[in-house]
Chain A
């Protein structure tokens, strides 16, 4: 297994069927994908294409890669009824998340009011001319959605038996190192040293959303990165954590975020709508709920 650091997280790559040299070459290929994606889509890099789009005062020409990502994001926005919305960039900045996250570095003594909610649907995307027009107040943050999407791209280039894990957003392919599936530990949001439940997966993706890690102090309260697009503020939920198993990491990531914002009852209902989707929901009181297509090995 090989690791590297990208998108402010540790990425692990394993391909048990390959020789050590071939596995290393594959890990390097995955690292290049992550690096290229981060350089183009990071909102923290002033030289990224996303930063140029977030600065543009008028219509701006975008790359084919940007166009494809915006088009995919728009589909998730529509499917989620707006609960997934990459137009939360300004809200994240207002909440204090204006640089790459480091625990403690975003702490502040005062809390600022969230900006008026922006909608991704206000972004004018002209696919025919590859041009985008952005309302002045709208800032795009592609965050976890993009990480999941990059994991999927890496998985598409992976050998039959492989695992790509980007800080908990992962795709597993094949039967795993022991031949009986890949084991996925779901972390306890109240105690990072503890595993709540272990799942067995084959040819599936997994992603988890929770406010316990990317959080920072704002005066006497705390803010976190799961912004509710309806309010522009950190989302309040009856859930402490949502883990989603789906066919792609992109979808798992989006569903985890949306289920978190919908809360325990509606979130579970959302995950149960699709026979290919399953999940583990942890309520704020610690209650654990397993939904849909997941095999629990150990609880």
Chain B
């Protein structure tokens, strides 16, 4: 039996499908990487040298209770929700030593002396 080249249609094997898939993913990866990397690359290439130090990026998140009272926005909680306090920031305290365990004098009896304390 022979095959007519005019009517022959190549059927992709599983291996070939995998090759196409890997190529497609690699292309997508390369495009995304390029898009993400572009701003940093532009600066690094010296296309526009900075004349002054860039400003620090603004903090995206902050605890409400870390803001000064005057700057705190009014929070309206959804029905059934409650705005809670994490507790005021603790005042700094001097570090205290852990209890030091010492051997009691041999003369001390192993008995309890109960009293108010």
Contacts and interface: CB of A to CB of B under 8 A. Distances in A.
Interface string B63-87: 0000000000000000000111111
Given A52-B88, A56-B88, A59-B82, A211 B116 contact: yes
B85 A56 contact: yes
- Say whether chain B's binding surface is mostly helix, strand, loop, or mixed: loop
B110 A187 contact: no
B117 A243 contact: no
Contacts of B116: 168, 189, 208-214, 241
Contact of B104 (A5, A12, A55, A214): A12
B40 interface: no
Given A3-B104, A56-B85, A166-B117, A46 B91 contact: yes
Interface string B94-117: 000011111110001111111111
B46 interface: no
Given A11-B99, A59-B83, A183-B111, 7 more contacts: A1-B108, A2-B104, A45-B93, A58-B83, A58-B85, A59-B82, A208-B117
B90 interface: yes
A107 interface: no
B112 A47 contact: no
Given A56-B85, A56-B87, A59-B84, A31 B98 contact: yes
Going nearest first, the 4 A-B pairs with the smallest beta carbon separation are A52-B87, A167-B117, A210-B116, A47-B90
B112 A163 contact: yes
B91 to A, nearest CB: 4
Contacts of A236: none
B115 A187 contact: yes
Contacts of B112: 163, 165, 168, 170, 172, 182-185, 206
B111 A184 contact: yes
A246 interface: no
Contact of A31 (B86, B92, B101, B110): B101
Contacts of A195: 113
Nearest to B82: A59
Nearest to B106: A1
A3 B87 CA distance: 35
B103 A1 contact: yes
A4 B100 contact: yes
Contacts of B86: 60-61
A58 B84 CA distance: 7
B102 A2 contact: yes
A281 to B, nearest CB: 13
Contacts of A55: 87-88
Contacts of B84: 58-61, 131
A82 interface: no
A213 B90 contact: no
A49 B85 CA distance: 13
A206 B102 contact: no
Contacts of B108: 1
Contacts of B90: 46-48, 51-52
28 contacts: A1-B108, A3-B103, A4-B100, A5-B100, A12-B104, A14-B110, A28-B101, A32-B98, A49-B87, A53-B87, A56-B85, A58-B83, A58-B84, A144-B117, A165-B112, A177-B110, A183-B111, A183-B112, A184-B112, A185-B113, A185-B114, A187-B114, A189-B116, A211-B116, A212-B116, A213-B115, A213-B116, A213-B117
